[in-house]
Structure 1
Amino acid sequence: MRKRFSEGSPIASTVVTGDDFDELEHTFQAFLAPDTVKLHTPARTGFFDISQLSGLRVPGIDPHGLSFYELTLDSDVVLHGEETPDAYTVVVTLTGRSQITIDGEVIPSRHVVTGPEARFRTTFDHPDILLLRLGERLVADTMRERLGEAPTSPLRFDPVIASSMDQWLTLLHTFGETAASGMFDRSPLAAAHFEKLLLHGLLDAQPHSRSGDLDEERPRPKSTAVRRAMTYCEERAAEPVSIGELATAARISVRALQSAFRTELGLTPMEYLRRVRLDHVHQDLLAIAQGRAEGNVTDVALRWGFTHLGRFSALYRDTYGKLPSETARLTA
């Protein structure tokens, strides 16, 4: 195992490592099942290491959530097959040479995005690769949150990672390093927030079939005072927050803050805080559904300050189009 991984971390866990390439090919295929993706090593010398940095805590792909892996091979390797109908994969080549073909077209980039049912073949020479897998349902749910409706068909990403993605790639590296350090073991909420940043960043920065809709969705720039108050809400969502504290953080009076929020956002500062907390609830319920956290709807609602469960359920349903128990696939 590579020394930078934390001892005993269930997130930064080695899936397979060594120099037995027959074992590598067999284990890789079993790990990805039922995917049709296959791995072949024409030059069967050197060593390999496949590590799971985030996602399910058991070997395998999370078909509905986010999973993150690093593959290091001191050899040549070929990945080929067809994406499942319910997954996207971002491939980032850190070191080594690569040649990537998607649906019969050679992609002139070391970093690519594949989508549901895309056929691909990738040849690597002594690579270090990051693989980010995103469930189609997760992407659709996020688009519904952003636009108020789910896509009627899977998004089609431009396969070439755009130059505008440089900051996102830096974020992805930081996510991998933090996961490998074991930090996310101690703070699953931090992991969930980081994953949300990756997902929204990918949707915003990488061109896809509904990028224009997201461009229209982006609001006009907020005033400095409103931005300060919004940041305070996001950073202190788990704490008691008063309108006076928000006004102090925004450096304006309570009345001026209320007026600015009504003008720029169409809601009160405390309504915005409630939305931030509801989003935290949603992310926590998704984590429960994906096996990344434990608990039930009542636990999560109370954690984020929703004490009237009837009103909470109605608000959640109005916002996300389903009951909180449906998101968590649990009974509240």
Structure 2
Amino acid sequence: MTFSSSCFDQELMDVSAFEISNFLKSKSFADHRLIQRGSRSANVSSLRYKAFGPLQIAEYSSGSSMEVRIPNLDDAYHLQIVLSGEGHCVFDGTSLPIQAGDSIMLTPGTEYTLGYSRDCVQLSVRIPLEFLHQSAREFGYFTAGGPIRFIPRGVNVINEGPIRHLLRDVLEFDVRNTSERAQLYYAKLLCHGILQSHESGICLNDRVNPSEHRHIAQIRNYVLDHLTEDIGIGDLVELCRISRKSLYNLFEKETGQTPSTYIRQLKLETIYSELSGDDRNIRNVTEVALKYGFTNLGRFSAQYREHIGELPSETLRRQSH
């Protein structure tokens, strides 16, 4: 399966695999080390590269068996798709086979070794960490702080799901004739498709009232970026550059809540996501509550049960089983 990359920024044909590696490093695509296996075939590698809004897209083939070691992605996720041939991904001592049509999401903070067959063609999409997180929030997902942890698992996105069609559209767009707004729109849709098709530890929020008002959205993003801090009304007034009275009136109209209640519910939703996730390092409810600024544990448990529908200890107990 191949995509029609008719509109790309740069193309390298009949070059060495190391020329492609150096090109991608020059674009800050990913810190990596390339190791060629078996006999070297000189100048048979190819690359098509495209920048689309916040995304960077590379379709490449090496013409020989290849191993790519990635020490740390730092500030970006990578969607890796094997278009033809086969490969494997090694992480945390586990080797995952990847067949043609399969995709995996590489997460910041994990070391990976990717291996590809001689006839392998890969498509890689670099997604900035903050952009994926912001997109997740806009589509109603909650993260438990830190990077979204995708479970490395082969997902066939070529034969089914929305990613195939979204990528095809993105690759066919000529960025010179495509507005920045349209590029952002399609990039966010691709993030949404990834969140739907690739399993992770985040969940959809269906409790906090949504609002499309720009100040509410601005505050929501600010709170989610500073969840473990003590956020005061003054911080929100300064952020939106409106009066305290205007802030309270806005929240009453848009959410039916006070700003403090809204902040608390965002924190409770995040705690729920953390307690019900797959982090085995959580020892008890107390450390999580204190992390997000709930010092009165009795009041915290009551507020959590009122908003979530169960005690925090029940959420953690269910996750442990």
Per the TM superposition, whether the score is higher than 0.5 is: yes
Shift of 1:127: 1.6
- Spell out the pairing of 1:221-236 with structure 2 (5 A cutoff): none
Identify if the C-alpha distance between structure 1 residues 154 and 144 changes in structure 2 by more than 3 Å, giving closer, same or farther: same
Partner of residue 224, structure 1 = none
Identify if the C-alpha distance between structure 1 residues 20 and 206 changes in structure 2 by more than 3 Å, giving closer, same or farther: closer
Distance 2:87 2:123 in 1: 13
- Spell out the pairing of 1:238-249 with structure 2 (5 A cutoff): none
Pick aligned residue for 2:35 from 16, 36, 40: 40
Structure 1 alignment gaps of length 5 or more: 57-64, 220-265, 283-308, 322-332
Shift of 1:150: 5.8
Shift of 1:70: 1.1
Distance 1:148 1:93 in 2: 28
Distance 1:20 1:93 in 2: 20
* Percent of paired sites with the same residue: 17
Deviations 1:95-143 (A, max 9, x none): 1121221222111333211101211111112221111111111122223
* 1:32 partner letter: S
* 1:38 partner letter: R
Distance 1:89 1:22 in 2: 20
Partner of residue 177, structure 2 = 186
Partner of residue 138, structure 2 = 145
Shift of 1:176: 4.5
Shift of 1:175: 3.1
Give the paired residue count. 218
Partner of residue 168, structure 2 = 174
| SS of 1:79 mapped into structure 2 | strand
| SS of 1:108 mapped into structure 2 | strand
Structure 2 alignment gaps of length 5 or more: 219-240, 256-261, 263-321
Shift of 1:24: 3.5
2:114 matched to 1:122? yes
| SS of 1:167 mapped into structure 2 | coil
| SS of 2:74 mapped into structure 1 | coil
* 2:33 partner letter: K
Identify if the C-alpha distance between structure 1 residues 22 and 152 changes in structure 2 by more than 3 Å, giving closer, same or farther: closer
- The RMSD of aligned alpha carbons is 4.0
Partner of residue 195, structure 1 = 187
Confirm or deny: 8 A CA contact 2:48 2:59 kept in the other structure. yes
Pick aligned residue for 2:197 from 205, 212, 217: 205
Confirm or deny: 8 A CA contact 1:146 1:217 kept in the other structure. no
* 2:76 partner letter: A
Identify if the C-alpha distance between structure 1 residues 25 and 108 changes in structure 2 by more than 3 Å, giving closer, same or farther: closer
Distance 2:164 2:70 in 1: 28
Confirm or deny: 8 A CA contact 1:76 1:123 kept in the other structure. yes
Shift of 1:31: 3.5
| Higher helix content, 1 or 2 | 1
Pick aligned residue for 2:68 from 76, 79, 94: 79
Confirm or deny: 8 A CA contact 2:150 2:198 kept in the other structure. yes
Distance 1:119 1:133 in 2: 16
Distance 1:195 1:91 in 2: 16
TM (norm. structure 2) is: 0.55
Identify if the C-alpha distance between structure 1 residues 150 and 208 changes in structure 2 by more than 3 Å, giving closer, same or farther: closer
Distance 1:148 1:129 in 2: 29
Confirm or deny: 8 A CA contact 1:70 1:130 kept in the other structure. yes
- Spell out the pairing of 1:99-138 with structure 2 (5 A cutoff): 99-110=88-99, 111-125=103-117, 126-138=119-131
Confirm or deny: 8 A CA contact 1:78 1:122 kept in the other structure. yes
Confirm or deny: 8 A CA contact 2:135 2:188 kept in the other structure. no
Shift of 1:82: 2.1
Distance 1:218 1:52 in 2: 41
Bigger mean CA offset, 134-143 vs 38-47 = 38-47
TM (norm. structure 1) is: 0.54
Identify if the C-alpha distance between structure 1 residues 136 and 310 changes in structure 2 by more than 3 Å, giving closer, same or farther: same
Deviations 1:275-295 (A, max 9, x none): 4x969x99xxxxxxxxxxxxx
